[in-house]
Amino acid sequence: MKKCIPRTSDRIITVLAAVVCAVAAFFACRELLCGGQPPTVFFAMTLLFGGVAIHTIWRMIYMGNWGFFYDDEKIIFALSRKDYRDFRWDELQNAKTNIFYPSSPAAWYFYFQDEKKTKKIAVTPRLAGYNEFVDMLRKKGFPAQSPGTLNFDKNTAKDIFHEVFGEDFGKGSKNGSK
């Protein structure tokens, strides 16, 4: 099976951010208990950084190896460590209007309705295996586009610049030279 999952570097950065928040919470708590400073700020910092660290670590453990696992016959949406949905490609074509929503040319979401809430999983260019996944989606008839296919209209940018600044591109500067 091929996979489209978060990059290892993104996972490492997330772990480092959780560690930095935990260390900041530790020092704020230490200053709160042992320091002679006003306790309100350090109490708030302890709660803030401790909460961020605990939430990040919990989400990493709960989510596990989320992503997309696929081959020519089926696709598996791993929403978390315990929750995954598998579809045959032809079943997914029939359910396309219910779970597939393109949000931009380079990123889109798959939505899954449960009894209590809607769960979603995002496809973005930052995922490892993104290009192969996009190729497979195109092969199976989904409207997947590569990043960078956004059309940038230079005339629209000039109109916006003129409307905001009241002048054209390259017609002088702030120091008065024209």
pLDDT in tens, 19-37: 999 999 999 888 888 877 7
Higher pLDDT, 96 or 6: 6
One-letter amino acid of 35: G
Cβ burial 26-61 (10 Å sphere, 16+ → b, else e): eebbebbeeeeeeeeebeebbeebbebbeebbeeee
Of 4-8, 91-95, 117-121, the range with the lowest mean pLDDT is 91-95
Higher pLDDT, 176 or 36: 36
* CA distance readout (Å), 119 to 82, 85, 162: 13, 11, 43
Given pLDDT bands bounded at 50, 70 and 90, which one contains residue 106? low
pLDDT at residue 178 is higher than 50 = no
- In angstroms, the CA 164 to CA 78 distance is 46
Token digits of residue 48 = 């803030």
Residue 53 contacts residue 22 (beta carbons within 8 Å): yes
Residue 80 contacts residue 56 (beta carbons within 8 Å): no
The model's pLDDT over 40-77, given as tens digits with 9 standing for 90+, comes to 888 888 899 999 999 998 888 887 778 889 998 898 88
